[in-house]
């Protein structure tokens, strides 16, 4: 029996699964254009067979072609899927970049189209022009939702000055050791902007020496799941989409257990509070001061 992953509703009523299979990190192609990866295609087909319905892509990952083939070969109804991709290299000509992504994905539309990061812009007007291009795609119905990734509050505020559509999603690094300072997450949610978390497993991958390790093991043992499943569930219970990936089928099947258990209020509080005593940033380290938690 396939696991059932909970969903969250976007402003237009669209349902977004709270667990996504990411095709960056372990599957990322250094030049974004490497040869077709049959292993990724097969892993995606296994993920879909296991119950995954949310796939996260980007032109920068170089994995859109594999996703398109996997979806076609899986036989899963397109209406069941939530497919995300992002624009980065093609930011100067977003309409063209979008067409190229659709062609690689072999899709007529995507469920979510995002600006991959804000650092292409030297002034607010560039952020605003890019967002205007996404709004046009959304109004055509070819992206069911639009959003941004790696945006801090100043980037969002600059975008909102001219936006007619508020970004529906912001995908940022988020985990117990980087919960974002200055109430950024509550502010996003107050604007109706849903959160997606990449690198949600950082406390057990890159920051294993942090103070949560023993707590996570105890919680995992209690629920008869892995520490990874506990971290993913912590995000989900905060109504944050957890984006993770793996090259191992058994690990994916373990992550899928997030739909079969729930953390108690005390466990949620413990993970949050202990996590706040430690700081670790996985992505974009050179862009931030060592103790910058924004």
- Angle 237-243-244 from CA coordinates, rounded to 5°: 115
Name the pLDDT band for 2 (thresholds 50, 70, 90): low
Angle (deg, nearest 10), helices 265-275 and 227-236: 100
- Is 61 catalytic? The answer is yes
Per-chain mean pLDDT for the chain: 96
Using one digit for the tens of pLDDT, what is the confidence trace for 42-97?
999 999 999 999 999 999 999 999 999 999 999 999 999 999 999 999 999 999 99
Name the pLDDT band for 1 (thresholds 50, 70, 90): very low
CATH code, residues 7-201+239-247: 3.20.20.100
Annotated binding residue 116: yes
Residue 4 has a pLDDT of 81
Residue 75 has a pLDDT of 95
- From CA 251, how far away is CA 21, in angstroms rounded? 12
- Look-up: residue for tokens 């977003």? 94
Mean pLDDT calculated for residue range 256-260: 95
Residue 199 pLDDT greater than 90, yes or no: yes
Query: Which pTM value belongs to this model?
Result: 0.96
Residue 72 has a pLDDT of 97
Residue 34 has a pLDDT of 82
- Look-up: residue for tokens 């990322």? 28
Using one digit for the tens of pLDDT, what is the confidence trace for 5-33?
999 999 989 999 999 999 998 898 887 78
Q: 169-181 burial string, b = 16+ CB within 10 Å, else e? A: bbbbbbbbbbebe
- From CA 5, how far away is CA 233, in angstroms rounded? 11
Mean pLDDT calculated for residue range 101-110: 98
Residue 265 pLDDT greater than 50, yes or no: yes
What percentage of residues in the chain have a pLDDT greater than 70? Answer: 99
């Amino acid at each position: 029996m396939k696991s059932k992953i909970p969903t969250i509703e976007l402003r237009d009523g669209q349902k977004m699964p709270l667990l996504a299979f990411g095709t960056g990190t372990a599957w990322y192609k250094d030049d974004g254009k490497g040869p077709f990866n049959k292993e990724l295609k097969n892993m995606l087909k296994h993920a879909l067979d296991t119950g995954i319905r949310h796939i996260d892509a980007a032109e920068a990952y170089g994995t859109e072609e594999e996703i398109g083939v996997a979806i076609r070969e899986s036989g899963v109804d397109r209406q069941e899927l939530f497919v995300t991709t992002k624009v980065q290299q093609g930011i100067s000509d977003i309409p063209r970049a979008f067409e190229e992504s659709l062609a690689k994905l072999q899709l007529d539309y995507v469920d979510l189209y995002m600006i991959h990061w804000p650092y292409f812009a030297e002034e607010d007007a560039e952020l605003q022009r890019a967002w205007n291009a996404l709004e046009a795609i959304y109004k055509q119905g070819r992206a069911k939702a639009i959003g941004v990734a790696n945006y801090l509050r100043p980037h969002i505020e600059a975008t909102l000055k001219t936006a007619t559509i508020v970004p529906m999603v912001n995908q940022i690094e988020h985990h117990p050791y980087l919960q974002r300072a200055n109430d950024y997450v509550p502010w996003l949610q107050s604007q109706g902007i849903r959160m997606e978390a990449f690198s949600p497993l950082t406390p057990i991958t890159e920051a294993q020496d942090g103070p949560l390790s023993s707590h996570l093991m105890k919680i995992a043992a209690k629920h008869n799941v892995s520490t990874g499943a506990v971290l993913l569930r912590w995000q989900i219970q905060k109504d944050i989409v957890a984006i993770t990936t793996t090259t191992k089928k058994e690990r994916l099947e373990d992550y899928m257990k997030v739909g079969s258990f729930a953390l108690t209020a005390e466990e949620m509080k413990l993970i949050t509070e202990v996590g706040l005593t430690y700081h670790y940033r996985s992505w974009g380290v050179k862009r931030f001061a060592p103790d910058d938690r924004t």
